[in-house]
Amino acid sequence: MLIEAAKQLEVLVKRAVSDPDPIIGLTLKYSFQHALLDCMLILLKVVSVTKDKEVAEKFIHLFSMFRRPDEIDTAKDYAKLFHDIVNLIEVLKLRYVIIPNTRKVSIGAEINPLPRIAIVQPRIWFDKEYNEYKLTKGLKKHIEIFKENIEKASQQSANVIVFPEMFFPASHISELKDISKDKNMIIITGLDYEYDEFNNPINSCVILLPNGNLIRQLKLYRSKYDSPNMICGKELFVFTETPIGNFSVFICFDYLSPQDLIKFRGVIDTLFVITLNPDVRAYNECAKADAYRSLYGFIIIVNAFDPYSATRLKGKSGFYGPLRENRSIAEFEEKKYGMMIEDLPLNELIRAKRGEESSTMKSLPADFEVIDLSRDYPERASI
């Protein structure tokens, strides 16, 4: 209804600007209040369904546009009403249609045209180091691997470092708060199982930001490897104004949710998929296609390596993107582990998204639209 109202307002704006007929002008002056009232009634219907307080405030704002017909400037007032309704449609589209369970977190940093990303594929021994997905004997070892690689990545001026699903002990999360700020680096890592007061497990990851904020994100969907009692999350995050552009994180099985992946099309530049997966080849193949067709951005898979336990984690972490020559930018070789660093051509990706010619990136897929996260899109504070 709002979209149809906006179309009608656009027609009236053009008419008010182009038609000098005084009768038309007078008619438009007297019809303005009717058009404004129609928009407000539609907005009331939206508020009654969504209970959105910010949208309700915009309804109140429209009252300020009521005035006597002889005081109405048709071109100016119709244009303002059209502009307000179009902006409102964008906010509602983002909030309730495209990415309804997603929250924006702004870092306030400038984009690095060639950001450096470090991924860590650690050598673990799952059967010995975990007990039902909770770190036991491997706790100290994982903390050591974590700190060693943070230091190595910092020395090589990495903007981001990423570890696999369930890698870091959640019981030591308080130790992480200052690391990202001290190193001026984004740190992403999966956390081992935690348990709520009813002994239900929680599978989550943490995103540590250079401004000192710490964001927790829960896994959305249970895989066949997760506990049937695992508590599922309800929110995803889009991180904006970062050195690597807009980015988001999926935890393992969440990546295979097409309805959630498509929410990021035209919104983010990079998607990190952290996993602890014995069949990561399926993810690699999906990433090669999704990096171009579904997302048009970089997809980075981060897995662990364990050749001896029953899980047989084969690693195969890698970087993928919509490049002309090869969708696979870099991958860990078989039976290799450690840290890999890649400089991603973000500047070329952004140029291609604008529709400019790029010698590095493939041309845009059909019906691709860059979606701008409006300033009043709801932000989520650190958790």
- Reported as a single tens digit per residue, the pLDDT across 220-271 is 999 988 888 999 998 999 999 999 999 999 999 999 998 889 889 989 999 9
Assign 34 to helix, strand or coil: helix
86/303: higher pLDDT: 303
pLDDT digits (tens, 9 = 90+) for 72-94: 888 888 888 888 888 888 778 77
**Rounded-to-integer distance, Cα 238 and Cα 46, Å:** 25
pLDDT digits (tens, 9 = 90+) for 116-165: 999 999 999 999 999 989 999 999 999 999 999 999 999 999 999 999 99
Whether the model clears a pTM of 0.85, i.e. scores above it, the answer is no
Catalogue all structural domains in the chain, each as residue range(s) with its CATH number.
2-98 (no CATH), 102-353 (3.60.110.10)
- Tokens coding 124: 């673990």
Half-sphere exposure of 355 toward its Cβ, with a 13 Å CA cutoff?
A: 5
What would the DSSP string read from start to end of 141-171? HHHHHHHHHHHHHHHTT-SEEE--TT-B-GG
